[in-house]
Chains A and B, each alone.
Chain A
Amino acid sequence: MKRILMTGNEAMAEGAIQAGCRFYAGYPITPQNEIPAYMAGHMPQAGGVFIQAESELAAINMVFGAAACGARAMTSSSSPGISLKQEGISYMAGAELPAVIVDVMRGGPGLGNIWPAQSDYFQATRSGGHGDYHCIVLAPSFVQEAYDFMPAAFDLADKYRNPVIILGDGMLGQTMEPLHVTTSPRHHVTRQNKKWALTGCKGRTPNIVKSFYMKEGDLEKVNLLLQKKYKTIKIREQRYEGLFLDDAKVIIVAYGTMARICRAAVERLREKAKKVGLIRPISLWPFPENAFRLVNSRARRRVKFLVAEMSYGQMLEDVRLTLDGQAEVGFLGRSGGGIPSEEEIISKIKKL
């Protein structure tokens, strides 16, 4: 199979087109500009629609509209732009609309800077907008995964009629790596087999897509159904990768860019016969509690955990909730453009 050099941003855009995405709307922001640029160049050839919207708000609401009509639709942005899109994402979660939102995180708070960061974990995994909802969140580590996760994201979005966030960062977006492009046509859901979509109601009862329920009791019923759906997702869709968990005495927990750096650190320590392992959450919501259960059943109390993030401790909370006080949890975090190196990870582990 042919390998080509591509940035993570381009890989996500191409992956989306291969996954049957035929509607993209976005507004420029570094470090994700290669996504709209790639979409502008390639979406028309795929028979799809590319729109550079007048704002992030416009873009997310265009995606709402396209998704309501049954299209595989997506938008992308980076941290400050994703904040602007939260209202629309909340509406989509409420109206149960499938769509993919790519967040190539940069430093914050505020306008922050353009360097890689992971400081929007809370925003992505909790309800980023108002209301009590969840998006499914997937975090690729390598350019190949940036590509491979797109079809998975669209499939999950359609399966659960729920927004899916791909949570990357400036490093993933900007780095070029070899990529295997699978050009074989994939099976994907079409507008016609989305029975709930607004496809023209001639000859059938009209479908209604909304997140507004004024009648007493109605919203609660809808919310209970949403909660039931989230429970199913939590049971069925936990994704993670475990490395050397069998005999590890120290287990690093890291996702995305941080995970690839930690993986290299773990491999180096293993060469020196240090019993270090890695849990790498791939789905950030649902958080892969199952990965920790594997360790639980053995001697969880004797294993030390180290959470490494490009933030000041966000995923750390999920790890602590999962471990529920049964193991010691250390933390290494930098943010605002600082990227921990393999050496920093190794020296932290030696100090544990």
Chain B
Amino acid sequence: MIEKIIIAGAGGQGIMLLGKVLAEAAMQEGKFVTWLPAYGAEVRGGTAHCMVIISDRRIGSPRINQPDSLIIMNNPSLKKFKERVKNKTLLIINSSLVDKLPPKNTETLSHPFTDLAIKLGNIKVANMLALGCYFARKNIVEEKTVLKVIFEMAPADKKGLVEINQKALKEGLRLR
């Protein structure tokens, strides 16, 4: 098994965190993982992305040319990565901030993650909704592991944010 995921959105949407939660959960389930951030000046204010690879064996290049899955959180990110979409790529789209049509011939799950997050009470958990939606389609790690990781990754003074993030993840898992 090897799964290559690119996660892309705007700086501030929790793109790096989304990737870290995914990588950490896969690691805790004994998988090989790599997490590679875009570390250019683009991180500040523009688009941000990270690349996560989860595998049963040692990973070669942490860099992804052809992703198996793409999580796209805003318009510029779709523009940036749509060329890399191949036939069987799973495309998860934040329809709150993406109005362009996704490329044809792909499996697309499109949901308004940002609007759903606002309804839940915190716009910042759009990333966890998208992650939940991804897990619902790709059974890469167990739900309980991800919930545990969310708890563990929250800094000691921000444990109050655990509940809303876990709630968003569970909500995302219900999206189809």
Residues of A within 8 A of B (CB): 3, 5, 30-31, 114, 170-171, 174-178, 257, 260-261, 263-265, 267, 339, 341-343
With a cutoff of 8 Å between Cβ atoms, the chain A residues found around residue B23 in the complex are 5, 176
B117 to chain A, nearest CB (A): 25
With a cutoff of 8 Å between Cβ atoms, the chain B residues found around residue A178 in the complex are 27, 32-33
4 shortest A-B CB distances, which residue pairs?
A264-B60, A176-B35, A175-B62, A261-B61
Name which of A3, A114, A176, A343 has the most chain B CB atoms within 10 A of its CB.
A176
Docked Cα-Cα span, A341 to B61, in Å, equals 7
Nearest residue in A to B2 (C-beta to C-beta)? A264
Docked Cα-Cα span, A264 to B60, in Å, equals 5
Q: Does B155 contact A (CB under 8 A)?
A: no
Contact of A114 with B36 at beta-carbon distance under 8 Å, contacts A171-B63, A265-B60, A341-B61 already known: no
Q: Are A264's CB and B59's CB within 8 A?
A: yes
Nearest residue in B to A116 (C-beta to C-beta)? B63
With a cutoff of 8 Å between Cβ atoms, the chain B residues found around residue A339 in the complex are 61, 63
Q: Are B60's CB and A342's CB within 8 A?
A: yes
Q: Does B34 contact A (CB under 8 A)?
A: yes
Among A174, A261, A265, A267, contact of B39 (Cβ-Cβ < 8 Å): A174
Docked Cα-Cα span, A171 to B53, in Å, equals 14
With a cutoff of 8 Å between Cβ atoms, the chain A residues found around residue B57 in the complex are 267
With a cutoff of 8 Å between Cβ atoms, the chain B residues found around residue A267 in the complex are 57
Q: Does B37 contact A (CB under 8 A)?
A: yes
B89 to chain A, nearest CB (A): 17
Name which of A31, A177, A265, A343 has the most chain B CB atoms within 10 A of its CB.
A177
With a cutoff of 8 Å between Cβ atoms, the chain B residues found around residue A171 in the complex are 36, 61-63
Docked Cα-Cα span, A264 to B58, in Å, equals 8
Residues of B within 8 A of A (CB): 20, 23-24, 27, 32-37, 39-40, 57-63, 65
Among A3, A30, A114, A342, contact of B61 (Cβ-Cβ < 8 Å): A342
Docked Cα-Cα span, A175 to B32, in Å, equals 13
Name which of B23, B37, B59 has the most chain A CB atoms within 10 A of its CB.
B59
Q: Are A5's CB and B59's CB within 8 A?
A: no
- Can you identify 28 A-B contacts, CB atoms within 8 angstroms? A5-B23, A5-B24, A5-B27, A5-B33, A114-B40, A171-B62, A171-B63, A175-B34, A175-B35, A175-B36, A176-B34, A176-B35, A176-B36, A177-B35, A177-B62, A178-B33, A257-B61, A260-B58, A260-B59, A263-B60, A264-B58, A264-B59, A264-B61, A267-B57, A341-B61, A341-B65, A342-B61, A343-B65
With a cutoff of 8 Å between Cβ atoms, the chain A residues found around residue B39 in the complex are 30-31, 114, 170, 174
Nearest residue in B to A3 (C-beta to C-beta)? B27
Docked Cα-Cα span, A204 to B35, in Å, equals 54
Docked Cα-Cα span, A343 to B61, in Å, equals 11
With a cutoff of 8 Å between Cβ atoms, the chain A residues found around residue B32 in the complex are 178
Nearest residue in A to B55 (C-beta to C-beta)? A264
Contact of A174 with B24 at beta-carbon distance under 8 Å, contacts A263-B60, A339-B61, A339-B63 already known: no
Q: Are B63's CB and A5's CB within 8 A?
A: no
With a cutoff of 8 Å between Cβ atoms, the chain A residues found around residue B35 in the complex are 5, 175-177
With a cutoff of 8 Å between Cβ atoms, the chain A residues found around residue B40 in the complex are 114
Docked Cα-Cα span, A174 to B27, in Å, equals 18
Docked Cα-Cα span, A72 to B159, in Å, equals 39
A294 to chain B, nearest CB (A): 23
Nearest residue in A to B31 (C-beta to C-beta)? A178
A101 to chain B, nearest CB (A): 22
A111 to chain B, nearest CB (A): 13
With a cutoff of 8 Å between Cβ atoms, the chain B residues found around residue A265 in the complex are 60
Docked Cα-Cα span, A339 to B62, in Å, equals 11
Docked Cα-Cα span, A267 to B60, in Å, equals 10
Q: Are B34's CB and A177's CB within 8 A?
A: yes
A252 to chain B, nearest CB (A): 12
Docked Cα-Cα span, A267 to B61, in Å, equals 13
Nearest residue in B to A263 (C-beta to C-beta)? B60
Docked Cα-Cα span, A30 to B39, in Å, equals 9
B3 to chain A, nearest CB (A): 15
With a cutoff of 8 Å between Cβ atoms, the chain A residues found around residue B36 in the complex are 171, 174-176
Docked Cα-Cα span, A342 to B60, in Å, equals 8
Nearest residue in A to B24 (C-beta to C-beta)? A5
Nearest residue in B to A113 (C-beta to C-beta)? B40
Nearest residue in B to A257 (C-beta to C-beta)? B61
Docked Cα-Cα span, A275 to B62, in Å, equals 25
Q: Are B27's CB and A260's CB within 8 A?
A: no
Docked Cα-Cα span, A3 to B24, in Å, equals 10
B174 to chain A, nearest CB (A): 28
Nearest residue in A to B62 (C-beta to C-beta)? A175
Docked Cα-Cα span, A334 to B42, in Å, equals 24
B145 to chain A, nearest CB (A): 14
Q: Are A174's CB and B65's CB within 8 A?
A: no
Name which of B57, B58, B60 has the most chain A CB atoms within 10 A of its CB.
B60
With a cutoff of 8 Å between Cβ atoms, the chain A residues found around residue B60 in the complex are 260-261, 263-265, 342
